Amino acid sequence: MVGGASGLGAATARALHEAGASIVIADLNAEKGEALAGELGERATFVEANVMEPEPVQAAVDAAAGADGGLRISVCCAGIGWAQRTAGKQPHDLEIFHNVIKVNLIGTFNVLRLAAQAMVDNEPDDEGERGVCINTASIAAYDGQIGQVAYSASKGGIVGLTLPAARDLASRGVRVVTIAPGLFDTPLLAALPEETRAELGHQIPFPSRLGLPDEYAVLAAHIVENTMLNGETIRLDGALRMAPK
């Protein structure tokens, strides 16, 4: 569970743990990660990891692979955001664009490639499945707003790699599925005033509220159980199509 210390990742860690899975929480935030592992108790551990660095992610993968049954579920929720127009008083900061791509897109692929490599050595189940990798994009991949050029590009890249990665891994019995959430009540939005949060929620056709991390977790758990879900990006957005701004 990469990016599992808070928000969507923490909710998914709780859901999968409750379903009986052993959980390795990988995150940069050691305080929150260790607290969540302590809350979950047995079958939960924390590994401090930066998605952009191969060695810490490999350590998290090794920790999961060493658990009973091996590494069979990988969920990556790690990511950052940034708002800046392409051009204005000055051109978009190239280093920031690079960093957003590096964390969101390359970081996700780093997790995917290392987790999938561990999964191919698993014993297949009755359907021949050895594992499933769940990535997190955003509806900004499709409906990017003004100022979201870096963020949308990074999330669009995750959408774009989903099908070819699933095809790459099909012969090994490893599935790849991406969830593209809309506006969710995560720590990023928690910093906004309540009035602003309510206004954002009212933009969603139905239900007219912010999405709940538990709703992401329910979908992730279903993806794990439904073998026919593969190579697809699923929008989880209450029918929201974001306006330009």
pTM above 0.85, yes or no: yes
Q: Among the residues of the chain, which ranges form H helices?
A: 7-18, 30-40, 54-65, 94-100, 107-119, 140-143, 149-169, 187-190, 194-202, 213-225
- Distance (Å, whole) CA 101 – CA 112: 15
Dihedral sign, Cα of residue 109, residue 114, residue 115, residue 120: positive
For the stretch 34-69, pLDDT in tens is 999 999 999 999 999 999 999 999 999 999 999 878
The answer to whether residue 116 scores a pLDDT higher than 80 is: yes
Give residue limits of the domains in the chain.
Answer: 7-236
Tell whether domain 7-236 is in CATH 3.40.50.300: no
Positions marked active-site? 151
The confidence score (pLDDT) of residue 196 equals: 80
For the stretch 132-172, pLDDT in tens is 999 999 999 999 999 999 999 999 999 999 999 999 999 99
The confidence score (pLDDT) of residue 192 equals: 73
Average pLDDT over the chain reads: 95
Integer CA distances (angstroms), 20 to 11, 94, 235, 243, in order: 15, 44, 27, 41
The answer to whether residue 245 scores a pLDDT higher than 90 is: no
CA 202 vs. chain centroid, Å, equals 25
- Distance (Å, whole) CA 245 – CA 243: 5
- Distance (Å, whole) CA 222 – CA 200: 27
DSSP 88-151: SSSPPPHHHHHHHIIIIIIHHHHHHHHHHHHHTTSPP-TTS--EEEEEE--THHHHPPTT-HHH
Closest to 119 in 3D by CA, of 168, 163, 79, 162: 168
